[in-house]
Chains A and B, each alone.
Chain A
Amino acid sequence: KAGVTQTPRYLIKTRGQQVTLSCSPISGHRSVSWYQQTPGQGLQFLFEYFSETQRNKGNFPGRFSGRQFSNSRSEMNVSTLELGDSALYLCASSSDRGQDTQYFGPGTRLTVL
């Protein structure tokens, strides 16, 4: 089975711009979660989608949003980028139920200048 894929792998943007990141889960997985990883805060949960519905949301401002499509692929969007948004953005997929193993993609490294 192919693993979780994320595109693009690297992005450089400037303050004020917006960005869209994409995640394709493992085939058959319907849950996709997004995390932000920074040296200071570590891995922090952004949101989770299951069957096209947001099931849970972390403590991030409304500039961070996401969606999931009928084929379970997911995108996250960050609008009005700030320097502090520079991070590794990871997505993880799992099958239907909670407490199932989550498999992470390689991440998208976003740099905001």
Chain B
Amino acid sequence: QKEVEQDPGPLSVPEGAIVSLNCTYSNSAFQYFMWYRQYSRKGPELLMYTYSSGNKEDGRFTAQVDKSSKYISLFIRDSQPSDSATYLCATLPGGATNKLIFGTGTLLAVQP
């Protein structure tokens, strides 16, 4: 079993739709959760960084962590064609390490 599982997609939505991207993780010790966006032929860029349970909002993006069910989500409101990319969830095991554990990514296409 992978430590972080992510809905495989691909996901295609019309412009303006609300997008929901989801991951589950296996280790209850994980505390730090991130969402990265990766455009084709580019490196991942950090979108959201959350610690422990709760919601975090940044513009059209909301990250949600539910530690009781080991479930993390990213919501995109009013989706735009420029949001078309691969979205990767990731977690840090904690401690003095920067080893990120990634989900496999969900390819999102927002149709104009």
Contacts and interface: CB of A to CB of B under 8 A. Distances in A.
A45 B101 contact: yes
Interface of B is mostly: loop
B42 A98 contact: no
Interface stretch (B9-17, B65-73, B77-85, B89-97): B89-97
Contacts, number: 67
Interface residues of B, number: 24
Interface in A34-59: 35, 41-45, 48, 55-56, 58
Contacts of A31: 98
Contacts of B96: 55, 97-98
Contact of B43 (A4, A56, A58): A4
Contacts of B46: 101-103
A87 interface: no
Given A43-B88, A90-B44, A107-B43, A102 B102 contact: no
Nearest to A104: B43
B95 A98 contact: yes
A106 B102 CA distance: 17
Interface residues of A, number: 27
Interface in A57-113: 58, 90, 92, 94, 97-107
Nearest to A57: B99
A94 B92 CA distance: 13
B57 interface: no
Nearest to B2: A42
A45 B42 CA distance: 18
Contacts of A24: none
Contacts of A98: 92, 94-98
B7 to A, nearest CB: 13
Contact of A90 (B43, B49, B95, B97): B43
A33 interface: yes
A44 B92 CA distance: 13
